[in-house]
Amino acid sequence: MSTNNKEEINKPAASSQSKDSTSTTNDATNKPPPSSPPPPSQPKMVAAKPSPTSAASTTASVAKPGAGGSPAKTQPEPPPFEKGLAEQIRNKFGDLVKVVFIKPLRIKILVEPQDIVAVASFLRDSMGFDHAESAGGTDYPKDNQIEVIYHLGSYSREELAAHILWLTTRTDRDDARLPTLINIYKSVEYHERECYEMLGVYFDGHPRNERFLLPEDWADIPPLRKDFRIKGR
């Protein structure tokens, strides 16, 4: 057989083989890929709603840490030295003196107007509070009272040099009158005059209950009282 015949015989076979491979390739290409199994579904996490009973018990447990409730706040212990000074005053006058507070370097006591001269004399003569550094007043309209405060200090006792004792008393706002302390503390002369002028407190026994800050023709209420209003406002 000639070479050409062999080639002719072989050609169809090659062509047939090519078609077969092509069809196989096409089949493989068009064939959908095998489906993969779906991923396992994750369980949904749903927050459980607390029942009203459990919520109430939780709130109660937060609000009240213990069966007896939160402990009451305790006041700090007053300094020993200042506490000793207050005890001296209490031992002398008992219930006639009310200790309002005791703090480092500060003591405040409240007395009735009829007792203030006796208490001031004791503070000066027996405890060393020998001068009044200042005096002032505060208006309390809701209580219908005016409080006068004397700030007492000491030059004679070194251990009292930094201490201030507040000697206070109150008077009726509608008839504001108090005994003067000018015969015990000379330095209160102008302080009491200022209280008279600005708050309307008359000091019995003071030689000069007269104004020295306001105009002579002042006809309004004392300007440091809470109900005083500037005209036009």
Which tens digits make up the pLDDT trace of 61-75?
444 444 556 666 777
Q: What is the pLDDT of residues 110-168, one digit of tens each?
A: 999 999 999 999 999 999 999 999 999 999 999 999 999 999 999 999 999 999 999 99
Statement: the pTM of the whole predicted model exceeds 0.85: no
Long-range CB contacts (within 8 A, 24+) of 144-147: 144/172, 144/173, 144/174, 145/170, 145/171, 145/172, 145/173, 146/170, 146/171, 146/173, 146/176, 146/199, 146/200, 146/201
The domain 80-178 is placed in CATH, from the list 3.40.50.720, 3.30.460.80, 3.40.50.300, 3.90.230.10, at 3.30.460.80
Average pLDDT rounded to a whole number, residues 14-35: 47
What's residue 2's pLDDT?
Answer: 43
Q: pLDDT category, 40, cuts 50, 70, 90?
A: low
Write phi, then psi, for 191 (nearest 5 degrees).
-65, -45
> For the chain, what are the domain ranges?
80-178
Q: How far is CA 8 from CA 5, 21, 109, 140, in A?
A: 5, 20, 135, 131
The CA-based diameter of the chain, rounded to the nearest angstrom, is: 162
Token pair, residue 142, equals 């809701």
3 state SS of 190: helix
Q: What is the pLDDT of residues 51-60, one digit of tens each?
A: 544 444 444 4
